[in-house]
Chains A and B, each alone.
Chain A
Amino acid sequence: MNRTLELLGLLRGRRVRKLLATVSFDATAAIWKHAGGDFDCVSTLEGHENEVKSVSWNASGSLLATCSRDKSVWIWEVLPGNEFECVSVLQGHTQDVKMVQWHPFLDILFSCSYDNTVKVWAEDIDSDDWHCVQTLGESNNGHSSTVWALSFNSAGDEMVTCSDDLTLKVWKSEIQKQQVGDGYAPWKHLCTLTGYHDRTIFSVHWSRDGIIASGAADDAIRLFVENKDGQVDGPSSPSYKLLLKKEKAHDMDVNSVQWSSKETRLLASASDDGAIKIWKLESIS
């Protein structure tokens, strides 16, 4: 069973080198090169003890992260000649890791798990070691059941997580401070979207123009936007509203939703029913 696809395009001079990473229940990750309309497998990454759940490229394409039911997160470095070297095995989660996702422009890695937490991993300045710099758990207003996925907004200062606890949570970090070298800027809970889902939320994705899409075990896709009208409490407590609920988007669980990176308002969804659907969001009132 293949679970995740992540496409990376690298620019080298005038040639565009495209690599695709896939992961599988067979405990491996595979790297494919796009050549003449087809994909050739150029490398196989072994090491995880059991099913690999997710893979993510960092912004520059120099690092790859994988995670598994074996509770670990692996960071791989991309070497010349399509070689990959494992540079770190991150232990810390106490249960299966469901998804990994790099920050959109900083080399900080996020992982979410069956242990109900989200962990943030960063490289030490002095050494080449990676370690967990923050854990978002129930004590920081985190989720009370498995966290299945996370996604960043385009500015990279907010993140949304989705869970088996039937909520979406929005988090914020003063990432600008981190960028100017002020040290690690922790993530803080901003708000929880509750009461919109009645079955596990498997996937969440934040579009470039601020629409959060969720895919859930009730076969529906939901879209949320920030509620900008009538802010009573002021800028410190934003709220979100349901923009649209597409019931029976699929015949079975929606496992993945993703906005197009090229065309805003274009959304892809994948389901246990074996279908991949492309949706176009028509006018927003």
Chain B
Amino acid sequence: MTIGLINANPIVHAKKERIARTEDLHCDDAVDPLDIYDSVRDIRDPEHPYSLEQLSVLSEESVTVDEKRGRILITFTPTIQHCSMATVIGLCLRVKLMNSFPPHFKVDIKVSPGSHANEESVNKQLNDKERVAAALENPNLRQLVDECLQSNDL
């Protein structure tokens, strides 16, 4: 891994207050953007001991769902333009969603427009399923992703 931190001084935000959510009256297949957000907000940043939510990499607006067509779009904002951890964060999101939601959902993961110097290249990698599969077979990457997904704060 890199010797120095990519972004040594990230801006950390207070944790957003969580509202206890009542039982959903939707049918079982319904997927709420807030359910998805809940499942990813606590993913740890690969470099800093803070969640993606705390670093404003993710917010509630990050998630859009087209329930009729079964499509989920997540956009995330790396803390800096040249963040080399962008693909790792994207991978974490993909794995978390794969484990949390039914496989028939089509998931697209992108950096928010204008937030990264290599936006096109990062988006392309994150949405090529063979590249994703190959990345997850890399033991070092897999370990890093697993560490980020271990949610220590609930």
Whether B131 contacts A96 by the Cβ 8 Å rule is yes
Q: Which of A96, A218, A252 contacts B130 (CB 8 A)?
A: A96
Complex Cα gap A251–B102 (Å): 11
Which residues 114-150 of B sit at the A interface, judged by CB distance below 8 A? 124, 128-131, 133-134, 137
A217-254: which have CB < 8 Å to B? 217-219, 251-253
Residue pairs across A and B with CB atoms within 8 Å: the count is 33
Contacts of A218 in B (CB 8 A): 106
State which residues 59-101 of B face A: CB under 8 Å: none
Answer yes or no: B16 CB below 8 A from chain A CBs: no
Q: Is the CB of B130 within 8 A of A69?
A: yes
B113 at the interface (CB under 8 A from A): no
Q: Is B4 at the interface (CB under 8 A from chain A)?
A: no
Determine chain B's interface SS by DSSP, over half rule. Answer: helix
* A residues 242-284 touching B (CB-CB < 8 Å): 251-253, 272-273
Tell me whether A25 and B128 are in contact (CB under 8 A): no
Q: A146-B124, A146-B128, A164-B128 are in contact. Are A51 and B106 (CB under 8 A)?
A: no
Interface size class of B (residues with CB under 8 A): 10 to 19
Determine how close the nearest CB of chain A comes to the CB of B107; give it in whole angstroms: 11
- How far does the Cβ of B110 sit from chain A's closest Cβ, in whole Å? 14
Contact pattern, B 5-37, Cβ under 8 Å of A = 1, otherwise 0 = 000000000000000000000000000000000
Find A217's partner among B106, B124, B133, B137 (CB 8 Å cutoff). Answer: B106
Docked Cα-Cα span, A251 to B105, in Å, equals 10
A152: Cβ under 8 A from any B Cβ: no
Are B103 and A25 in touch, CB under 8 angstroms? Answer: no
Separation in Å of the B135 CB from the closest CB of chain A?
11
Give 13 A-B contacts (CB < 8 Å), ordered by A residue.
A1-B133, A69-B130, A69-B134, A96-B130, A96-B131, A145-B124, A146-B128, A199-B106, A218-B106, A251-B103, A251-B104, A252-B103, A273-B103
Other than the given A96-B130, A251-B103, A272-B103, 13 more pairs (CB < 8 A) read: A1-B133, A25-B137, A51-B130, A51-B134, A53-B130, A69-B134, A96-B131, A114-B131, A164-B128, A199-B106, A219-B104, A251-B104, A252-B103
